[in-house]
A = this chain, B = another copy of it.
């Protein structure tokens, strides 16, 4: 059933497959009388775009947003903001071999068992390309929460075994390197690792950390629509995400209360923002598609050997950074608006 919407008050519905005519979204519930900076939206999209980062795939996606509705004379109307991004570089031929074969570690087989049919070209709807719509909508949400002084900054905190030890106060440097890491020296090592992995026909996982400042206390709706629970859903919904933790997360499991009580709690208590800095991590698995022959099954149920064609990312975390930020902005925008409803 319908499952392509996220948010209650500020609700994004996305559409589109990687090799269909277009991807896009409808952002409903965006308040009227704002004057969004649409160039800034395009800039955020460019950060996610393949081809904009030498550590990613060499696949080029222009990703120009076309605005369809909801804006008039530069202002939001209170009506749904619809937009689309054409799918330009559709080398569908690259994917012909996949019509009868399920890629290992991908949704191909599960998708076909669910729906009975499948768009085999580049993963169709399960492609990470469809997150571009989230980035565009998230950029609008960022401008909304920015009015309240909220900033959202994600960065790569680990690639493989290379992990950031201490978080720098200034995160802006993450945009100056392709690894999207705020520590320049570590970023260089991460880039080397990713290139080495690519050269080996392999892939590698990583972690994206997100830090949110300026968040007022009181956001989150107990007991189910907690702020951290909604963030968890949004993050685990990103392609290849396999883990989510608030504050110290899994490390907290090993601590005593007397220790943990002295630590920052990740900015959320009882599901409600506490006015402090909010921090969470998202773990991403290594991309399943690698330049090595792998065993898999085809539609007939036979075991076959598959060699990936096309152009693929050896590591998704650098490109996941703007997606994590976008999803966080959408969740926060929704909850900032919901917070208007908490008292008489």
Contacts and interface: CB of A to CB of B under 8 A. Distances in A.
Contacts of A5: 5, 11, 13, 28, 224
Contacts of A226: 3, 236-237
Interface stretch (A42-50, A52-60, A63-71): A63-71
Contacts of A219: 114
Given A233-B232, A236-B229, A1 B290 contact: no
Interface in A87-129: 104-107, 109-111, 113-119, 123-126
A245 B283 contact: yes
A207 interface: yes
Contact of A69 (B23, B232, B248, B269): B23
A290 B256 CA distance: 10
A230 B230 CA distance: 9
B236 A261 contact: no
Interface stretch (A164-172, A184-192, A335-343): A335-343
Given A242-B247, A243-B246, A286-B255, A21 B261 contact: no
A36 to B, nearest CB: 10
Given A243-B252, A337-B341, 7 more contacts: A2-B11, A32-B114, A107-B222, A147-B344, A236-B244, A258-B290, A265-B285
Contacts of A228: 236-237
B261 A288 contact: yes
A80 B13 contact: yes
B80 A14 contact: yes
A281 B204 CA distance: 22
